[in-house]
Structure 1
Amino acid sequence: MPLYMDVHTKIKDLTQEKLAEDHRKDLEYEQAEGVHFKEAWADPETGTCFCLSEAPDQDAVRRVHRRAGHPANEVYPVTLHV
């Protein structure tokens, strides 16, 4: 299944706990869209979060994040990795 990296920006009051809670929300909706969120990283200083997922397409990733209450600003296909 294709990999995607999505970006969330300008997240206010970003903490480890908020990142974990938002990730749990994604997991609640991922199966309905055929998505699997693998990992998430964040920088509280800039309020930026990055999520890596396997998904049928970018729109599926966007739908999960929207349903979870934190839409992604950008979604990129990851076609090369080591």
Structure 2
Amino acid sequence: MPLFMDVHDSLPEGATATDVAGAHEADLRIQAQYGVTYHRYWVDEQSGKVFCLVEAPTAEDAATVHREAHGLVADHIHEVVEGR
């Protein structure tokens, strides 16, 4: 299954890492419907960026989970290969 890193360039005004945690939980509740697995995420509150590591059949499937779970779709989605 392809692995993607999605990048959200800016958090909504006033959003915090706690808010991102809630959005991630919403992703987890519906991801199975699309064959998607959101593994981890990272938040840089200072720059307002969020990064999500996700396995999905396609980048669009990953975006669909975000769109339906909470509406915060990534600005960029990159297919990645894990290094060791």
* TM norm. shorter chain > 0.5: yes
- Counterpart amino acid of 1:41? W
* Mapping of residues 52-67 of structure 1, within 5 Å: 52-67=53-68
* Mapping of residues 12-23 of structure 1, within 5 Å: 12-23=13-24
- After superposition, give the CA deviation of every residue in 1:50-75 in whole Å (9 maximum; x if it has no partner): 00011111110111111122111111
2:37 corresponding residue in structure 1: 36
- After superposition, give the CA deviation of every residue in 1:22-70 in whole Å (9 maximum; x if it has no partner): 1001112211110000000011111100000111111101111111221
Residue 71 in structure 1 maps to residue 73 in structure 2: yes
Identity %: 37
For 2:19 and 2:72, the matched residues in 1 are separated by: 11
Q: Secondary structure at the residue paired with 2:53?
A: strand
Residue 80 of structure 1 deviates from its aligned partner by: 4.4
TM-score under structure 1 length normalisation:
0.91
Q: Secondary structure at the residue paired with 1:18?
A: helix
Tell me if structure 2 keeps the 8 A contact 1:37–1:51: yes
For 1:72 and 1:66, the matched residues in 2 are separated by: 9
For 2:82 and 2:44, the matched residues in 1 are separated by: 24
TM-score under structure 2 length normalisation:
0.89
Unmatched runs of 5 consecutive residues or more in structure 2:
none
Regions of 4+ moved over 4 Å = none
